Amino acid sequence: AAGTPGFNAQRVIQDCLTLDELNGLIVNATEPEIARVYQLKRAKLLSAYFPVQRQMELNQTYEKALGQFLATVEQQANISSNHAKAFIGYAQAQPAFDSLKSVIQNEGLRGAVLDLVSKNKGPAAANELKANLGKADQIIGLFGTN
């Protein structure tokens, strides 16, 4: 209530004392009509605090939304950082990838390995290896390396 026109520490304390008194009168009222009069007085006193309460609820909602927004921004920053690290890792791994590519796609070496597998494991195993090397060629092609 501080900073709100008409609200100060003295008023809030006075209203607390008045509310305490009204609550006692309501509890001790023997006639329902009299209890209702005190309840209306209490409601009138509390109604002045309603806009302040609503403003506080709006502020809390805003702060919660702002917190969620900041968490989302932080999460996006982490994702961007991870992407940057992945690109750096890819760039640093490129020479090793190029070396692997040159070994896998070396026709002389490929032919010798296929011949060795065919002699030791049979033609079916050599055909399976050849199919797998074809898949490796497709994957290498996806990276678009030289």
pLDDT in tens, 100-141: 777 778 888 888 888 888 999 999 999 999 998 888 888 877
pTM beyond 0.75: the answer is: no
What is the distance between the alpha carbons of residues 49 and 13, in angstroms, rounded to a whole number? 13
Distance CA 34, CA 18 (A): 17
- Split at pLDDT 50, 70, 90, the class of 144 is low
On the CB side of 143, how many CA atoms lie within 13 Å of its CA? 16
User: Rounded distance, CA 65 to CA 74, Å?
Assistant: 14
Contact 130, 114 (CB under 8 A): yes
Which of 65, 52, 41, 42 is CA-nearest to residue 7? 52
